[in-house]
Amino acid sequence: MPPIVCLHLLNPLPEAGDSPRPRDFARALAAAGAEAGEVNLVLTTAEELQRLNRTFRRRDRSTDVLAFDYRETASEGALWGDVYVSAEAVLEQARERGIPPREELARLFLHGCLHLLGHRDHAAQERKRMLAVQEALLPGILAAHPKPPSRGPRRR
């Protein structure tokens, strides 16, 4: 059973258009080896990420993404993590990369989720492996929303 993904947009980002769908993240996470459980994806402000970073990591600065892993203390099928992303970082990094904000939003949420699954990016080889997994999963998350099947003309 894939994980349950809850998307919380505490700081809406109209520039991103349609947000990636939670079920697309759930499929990607299952493909990456995630077990049943729940993960929260939270889009918030740079100020809130700085507060969280200061409180839990003792670093008094903002960052683009923070992941909190609860799996060691969670029961099976319970909440196994929260991923927080800065809306300001999404816009800034999308502009720097020349990509749509929606793509950067999905990339940052996925990056945080991969950290929850045990991927690391401190050493060069770890980062290379993690980014390869990230970029392989990203297209499935960004796929266009499927259109409902055409029913043809209606008859009376």
- State yes or no: pLDDT of 77 exceeds 90: no
81-110 burial, b if ≥16 CB within 10 A, otherwise e? bbbbbbbbbbbebbeeeeeebbbbbbbbbb
Q: Taking the model in full, what pTM does it have? A: 0.84
> 82-140 pLDDT, tens per residue?
999 999 999 999 999 999 999 999 999 999 999 988 888 889 999 999 999 999 999 98
Helix, strand, or coil here: 39? strand
**Position with higher pLDDT, 151 vs 11:** 11
Q: Taking the domains of the chain in order of start, what are their residue ranges?
A: 4-141
3.40.390.30, 3.30.1300.10, 2.60.40.3080, 3.40.50.620: CATH of 4-141: 3.40.390.30
- pLDDT surpassing 80 at residue 155: no
Band the pLDDT of 146: cuts 50, 70, 90.
very low
